Chain A
Amino acid sequence: MKHIETKNVNAYYGENHVLKDISLTMKANTVTAFIGPSGCGKSTFLRCLNRMNDYIEGFRKEGDIFIEGEDIYDKKVRVEELRQKVGMVFQKPNPFPKTIFENVAYGLKIQGVKNKKILEEAVEKSLMKSALWAEVKDQLHKSALSLSGGQQQRLCIARTLAVEPTTILMDEPASALDPISTAKIEELISELKENYTIVIVTHNMQQAARVSDKTAFFYMGELIEYGKTKDLFTHPKHERTENYITGRFG
């Protein structure tokens, strides 16, 4: 079943044409990796999927994007609801300068949930899912900024999970972390796949190979190749892809 579908997506920052005719589909409960040299438009495309580019001055998009059959750029769509459904984890861990508890409860609070019991349950459940519960269960009311970088990133994942999204977008979620934290995040991605559709941007080819089912290779705003991760890494169809994954440029 198509979970995400994009049709001829073009994007511009002012005059700068950064995405060219991107059409692809992603299935539910899979992990899709976006790879490509820096500046090729991976982040821009990812951010189109939950409309995080809406506030950027001079940004313009053409083409359609459907998630679970709904045109997400339709006028009727509430962008806030969309983002609850399609969560996002950023490159640098960006917890709110508040307690761990408040970080995870934030999404529900802004939806108007006030019941303490419900919040506590949701916080526990989300922290469990992000494999952070054991480490922080005794310090829920300490500042999130006191956590290590890897823990902060898993907290950001927990925060996203708390609003029960169907889709999680991750923009180089491990690039600012040490190898052990990175391994934990990758493990987590594999577990989360059971219940969520995940799109991850990475510049680390091994990571893409390890965690993803399908991989899309971008180059200068174009989608050069898209296919099963296994195939793309072993038998790339395009020379550019091959050059990139074998490290000849990029």
Chain B
Amino acid sequence: MNNTLKNRLIDSGFKYFAIFCTFFGLIVLAIFIIQILIEGVGRIDWGFLTSLPSRRASKAGILTAWTGTAWILGLTALISIPLGVAAGIYLEEYGKKNRLASIIEVNIANLAGVPSIIYGLLGLEIFVRTLNFGGSLLAGAFTLALLILPIIIVATREALKAVPKSLREASFGMGATKWQTIWYQTLPAASGGILTGIILALSRAVGETAPLIVIGALAYVPFVARTPMDEFTVLPMQIFNWVSRPQHGFIVNAAAAIIILLLITFVMNGIAIYLRNKWQKKVNW
């Protein structure tokens, strides 16, 4: 066989292999989702959504789990959004060249690489024990807020960076102060990108299990949380608990709960992608 022909064969051979690779992960995910749907979708009904956990698989529901997830989502958002956006603004608009800002920057890059379970150990010592929150929603929300803070900060910075300089100059030229310029011009112009980052970060928090296990969130909580100081469980915890049981009924429950969890995750990611596309179009003024 001549050399050129061989090279061309390798070339197109690789091409098809690579196309296969590109879709491999997605195909596997699709197979898995279909499996889960087959297994779990029949289990989802009103009773499943509104029942408390139970030792009998057929009677158990996810009421405490999804309300716990909703609580955690809300509280984590309340804590992490103002802190993350504020820190992002500081780094991008104020601290360009000072030492504090560059230390914070290196630090954030490191925090982003810390495994989530380590945040659990931090939360256990600081929020659960030292601040005495116990295994409460508040302890969980603070722990997850610290975990997603780097994501929000980085997204805020990226979004602010994309705002053209001319917009800031126009505002300064009108006699606006730095903060007025940020508040009335830069931040609104960057809001699409910031919001995208926030939603992605929160969707990450919704899916987290490990740090919550470490801070002592419980798998079995027989009541719906009413205050941030209540004990709680969340959907991923409930899934983990059910997966760990041998009876098939609980595996079915886990599959059904996974459908709900994936639904939440995909909807949040979908919104984020939609916003990102919309915002990217708008940014080219």
Which residues does A use to contact B, with CB under 8 Å? 50, 52, 55, 57, 80-84, 87-88, 90, 92, 94-97, 106-107, 109-111, 145, 156, 159-160, 163
Q: Is the CB of A57 within 8 A of B184?
A: no
Most chain B beta-carbon contacts within 10 A, residue among A90, A109, A110, A156: A110
- Flag whether B17 is at the interface (Cβ < 8 A): no
In the A-B complex, the 8 residue pairs with the smallest Cβ-Cβ separation, listed nearest first, are A84-B175, A94-B166, A88-B173, A83-B175, A107-B174, A94-B170, A80-B175, A110-B180
Contact of B169 with A159 in the complex, beta carbons under 8 Å: no
Is B18 in contact with chain A by the CB < 8 A criterion? no
For B282, list chain A residues within 8 Å (CB). 97
CB distance from A192 to the nearest CB of B (A): 16
Q: Is B177 an interface residue (CB 8 A)?
A: yes
Question: 13 pairs across A/B with beta carbons < 8 Å?
Answer: A52-B172, A81-B175, A84-B175, A87-B174, A90-B169, A92-B166, A95-B170, A97-B167, A106-B174, A109-B184, A110-B174, A110-B184, A160-B174
Does any Cβ of A come within 8 Å of B285's Cβ?
yes
Q: Which residues of B contact A156 (CB under 8 A)?
A: 170
Chain B contact surface mostly? helix
Instruction: Write the nearest CB–CB distance from B102 to chain A, whole angstroms.
Output: 14
Bound: A84/B175 CA distance, A: 5
Assess A90 versus B285: contact at CB under 8 Å? Given A80-B177, A96-B185, A106-B184: no
Query: B170 contacts which chain A residues (CB < 8 A)?
Result: 90, 94-96, 156, 159
B interface residues, how many (CB within 8 angstroms): 21
Q: Are B177 and A94 in contact (CB under 8 A)?
A: no
Q: How far is the CA of A93 from the CA of B175 in the complex (A)?
A: 17
Measured between beta carbons, the chain B residues less than 8 angstroms from A92 are 166
Are A94 and B167 neighbours in the complex by a CB distance under 8 Å? yes
Q: Which residues of A contact B167 (CB under 8 A)?
A: 94, 96-97
B189 and A90 within 8 A (CB): no
User: A157 CA to B65 CA in the complex, in Å?
Assistant: 58
* A contact residues around B180 at 8 Å (CB): 110
Asked whether any CB of chain A lies closer than 8 Å to the CB of B171, the reply is: yes
Check if A52 sits within 8 Å of B173, measured CB to CB. yes
